[in-house]
Structure 1
Amino acid sequence: MAGIELAAGVVRAVVARAEGGRLRVVGRGETALAADAIAGGLVVEPGDVTGAVAAALTAAERGVPADRTVIAIDGDDVRTYHVKTPFDREESATPIVRAEADRAVREAREEAARAAQTAVADDPALRGVATARLTDAVAALVLDGRDLDSIEGYHGRALEVHTDVAVAPLVLSGAALATVAARRHPTAVPGVYALARLVAASGIADAGVVRVGADVTALAILRERRVVGTRVFGLGRDAFTAREETRDEDARVWAEIVALPLSDDAQPPERWLFVGVPEALLALPNALAKIVGEARGGAARIGPLTPSVTSRVFSDVPLNAEDLVAAGAAALATEVYT
């Protein structure tokens, strides 16, 4: 299975398989692009991007074609909604059977789709925009307060199915999917969602996950090992590089946007993990540390997100932090979390 990240200036591919409940990376590839071939997650030059995707996949596959591909994209109007659907089991002494579990998941997905549709309709930025549902992944199964990989055979009364629904403008998702051959069965997900799921699956319960790209910043919030929301906005590394004289003030504004609540009015997480921040832009995490510390009344823990943090992954090839979005997409392709 393959995960592909489409980002400004670069395409990254990771090929992996599920092995013993972990993700084993067997190959990676990377192809540079013109800076404007992809802008804000939108494929602007489809011919160039399609060629770059093919080259990156060829390098990652090592002669063994992947039969399923998940494409990671991040843009201003890409949304992820986390929906919790409760069920009250009257026959709590009776073990849950496959049919009941399947029905609960199906009904939860339907409820999550309705909730996402309502949220999109209420979103001023998406009003009048044709959108497509990228994914509706089951994020967690909770029975009487216990997180379970499977609920079959368990007894209990209060069942919760947590579902993540991702939505993107049709023009953005369609252009991304068109870069991969249909025989590879491509689907698309928000890149920062794929990254955050990987972090959560590696045992990190509560954190902010921030990916600073060339043209956008994408972030996700984890609560109790679940991705409760994502946000993408159009300030990336290039914007700060071009304004060195106002970097500290720009960093403060950037940090205020990052620290805004995503799905509730809870305090920002204590821990924040970053990808894509060079030493020259350490003003960004430093500004966020100050704002989070003031909001929480204590010091924030802010540091780089490295492959060593994502313990759910092991690799046969050198893997760096910039590959983790594609690795997260590959994890979703392999269904290693299921």
Structure 2
Amino acid sequence: MTATATPIVTPDDTARPGPDRTRGRARREARGAAALLAPSLIILGVMVGYPAVLMLIQSFTDYTVKNKVLGTWPEFVGFENYVDLFTQSDFPAVLMRSLGLMVVLTVLNMSFGVIVAVLMTRLGRAWRIVVSIGLLLAWAMPPLTATVVWGWIFDTEYGVVNWTLNTLTGTSDWTNHSWLLNPWSFYFVLTIIIVWQSVPFVAFTTYAALGQVPGEVLEAASLDGATGFQRFRLVVMPYLRSVLTVVLVLQIIWNLRIFTQVYALQSRGGLASETNVLGTYLFRQGVGEFGATAAIGVTMVILLLVLSWGYVRTTLKEEEL
């Protein structure tokens, strides 16, 4: 008689799935994820992808309203629209003006937002609620409404600012003083309006992130002799870095795309030729010059992608890890 060897099967061997089973499960999960994402991808393709591709194509043509009315095809002009944009228009000056304004607004929004959030952690419950309501009201006010209100505050004849300055100086030097005719004072008023409405978002987001900082870590740092600034820089900031990075990218994009506030102030007396930013410059271009305006739009999209590429690259690296 010969003995037949019986393989010994351990519980781990029966529980461990084989490679084919693992790949099959991964394929099923991928198909399920694709099915769930399909409606969103279709909507994005129709609402974003198609207009973006159409704008890119039109930027290389001389497409005007004449072609649209007559139903004729525009001519392909290559990079002529882009060359004219940077050599025969005010676009370079508007671009530099918009970038400078974006930097100032972003720095002010982030700085004041973080400061307000930190101060809110030091307030009592009642005062914290009052401050939160005030911030929420400023944030919820429509940009056009806020611009109209601030426009009346800085009004030439009936503005509270001019009356206050006359009262403080004891003169009438500020009577009929226009804050919107001079480009520098125009941007001063514009900065106040945008910062007033943008700080609440940064403050609320940062305040929520501050709640995730472990109290025992801050207490340990305090016992080790760290000052308040050192605790914030060395302990709190690492917890806030990812949140503040997202907020920073959003602020850069939003501050580079401002339109309503600038256009409303220009309508109240500002000189459009000296105060245009990218949004209003695009809006005020020749009516029906679709090819030229498409080139401006493509340039703005590329600029926004370049400015946000650092955040996108960091996010992709974190996902790979």
TM superposition score normalised by structure 1: 0.23
TM normalised by structure 2 equals 0.24
**Bigger proportion of residues as strand:** 1
Which protein is bigger by CA-based radius of gyration? 2
